[in-house]
A and B are shown apart, each in its own frame.
Chain A
Amino acid sequence: MILQITLGAGMFGLSCILVVILLVVLAFAVYYYNRIVVLSNQVDNAWSQIDVQLKKRTDLVPNLVETVKGYMKHEKGAIKMVTDARAKMMGAGTVDEKMKAHGELTKALKTILALAENYPQLRASENFRLLQEQLDGIESKIAYARQFYNDSVLRYNNITSTIPGVWFAGFMGKAHKPYFEIEEKERKPVKVKFDE
């Protein structure tokens, strides 16, 4: 009789502990699931910020080419570089392709803007001044968007690669996300060649 009671109490206590453990695990699962989803969405959102700016800049290129063409008659090479880079940007689909095309377009634009320094008439034109201001603005917005994107990726990768987040990430099929790196040569100042 006494044995039965203690056994019953023991069973009851045991199941209580089991329930508590189950609840704690469940709470953890919900927390990490939500956290991973939120952070993953933030990364996507951060990427779309970059994308918007990349698109804006791509749209400005024909305008720039049109403005520049009249003055810079001897810089066909540089102009072609810009239009080629733009075409590549338009054709880019994946994040990786876009990052590459972005690097090329940045370089081409830097070259042409550096060359423009040699054309006082072009620099004096109101249209060119406005374009340059817009391009500068977009350039710094891309830089900030990249920073925000990389910060978001860092937070996301941290939670999905540490215990216990890594278990949930694997279960949810959430993989690592890539950082948006700048190519080394892009950071160096642009060398302008005067071949003509």
Chain B
Amino acid sequence: MERLSFYDQISRNRRDSIVLILVVLVFMVALISIIGTVYSPESSFFFLTIALVITLIHIFVSYNYGDRIVLSSVNARLADERKETYLINTVEGLAIAAGVPAPKVYVIDSPEMNAFATGKDPQHASIAITTGLLQRLNRKELEGVIGHEMSHVRNYDIRFATLVAVLVGLVAILSNLFVRSFWFGGGRRDERRGGGIWILLVVVGILLAVLAPIFTRLVQAMISRRREYLADASSAELTRYPEGLASALEKIKNVNTGKMPVSEAVSHLFFVDPTKSALDSLFTTHPPIDKRIEILRSM
């Protein structure tokens, strides 16, 4: 595997985040303007302005509050300082090892074993752990998993992954909306409008709408796999004990049912894929667990 210093990873994530924001900006402005223009071609400039305003707000909110949106969408709660001292201590310890400020610690009440990190940078980061994971792992294994999440925090994976979840997640929703409203009102407008431009707009609109979910899937698949291997390796570097993470993965493999009630738009953030669906073989967001264990054990 290609060796990347974590400075390279940080600059790559910063660059990827900017590219993603620009792509989403163009995509959303185009989409909203087209939707608007389909309804009334005379006021396309007005729709363009509206599209810009909405998109900029969306990007601002996603960038600054994306972590809260993600955390509340999976029903995470802040860890209890008295009851979950052990977890908080472990997170703080690994933050020291990674040389980043201690992230906020969240807990998800679920029997599934999983974890994720989110935030816009290491100074505004959160790590969430399921109760299933907390109960079943010993200290070394928990350190392995948290070390993995801590490397996502340290190398700014969290910024890009959170942006993907919130920015791209909404594109899918928007396109979905467009498709539905188009089918409902399609016949009525035929008598009012005509001409090649309108047909072109409709075609482009449909195309965008059809592409959006695939686009979401593709971006999710593109970002995850290599990042997970890298984070596994960095975790081993932080804990100096790859076996901890390997044995955690083994437990997870045997316990998880893949039925965590979380949205597909955030599944790529998780330590292991929280949902098993039929599309997984086509658009995997996570590398196979066996492969990860194998790599860790060969370190």
User: Which among A45, A46, A141 is the interface contact of B89 at CB below 8 angstroms?
Assistant: A141
- B92 to chain A: which residues have CB within 8 Å? 137, 141
The verdict on B257 contacting chain A, using a C-beta distance below 8 Å, is no
- A147 to chain B: which residues have CB within 8 Å? 97, 240
CB-CB nearest in chain A for B98? A148
Contact B86 A144 (CB under 8 A): no
CB-CB nearest in chain B for A152? B99
The verdict on B169 contacting chain A, using a C-beta distance below 8 Å, is no
A residues with a Cβ closer than 8 A to B are 42, 45-46, 49, 53, 130, 133-134, 136-137, 140-141, 143-145, 147-148, 152
Report the contact-size class of chain B (Cβ under 8 Å from the partner): 10 to 19
User: Other CB < 8 Å A-B pairs besides A137-B90, A141-B93, A144-B238, 18 of them?
Assistant: A49-B96, A133-B86, A134-B85, A134-B89, A137-B86, A137-B89, A137-B92, A137-B93, A140-B89, A141-B89, A143-B93, A144-B94, A144-B97, A145-B97, A147-B240, A148-B97, A148-B99, A152-B99
Main SS of chain B's interface residues?
helix
A144 to B96, CA, bound (A): 6
A145 to B85, CA, bound (A): 19
Q: List 18 A-B contacts (CB under 8 A).
A: A42-B99, A46-B99, A49-B96, A133-B86, A137-B85, A137-B90, A137-B92, A137-B93, A140-B90, A140-B93, A141-B89, A141-B93, A143-B93, A144-B93, A144-B94, A144-B97, A145-B97, A148-B98
- Kindly provide the distance from the CB of A145 to the nearest chain B CB, expressed in whole angstroms: 5
A70 to B89, CA, bound (A): 28
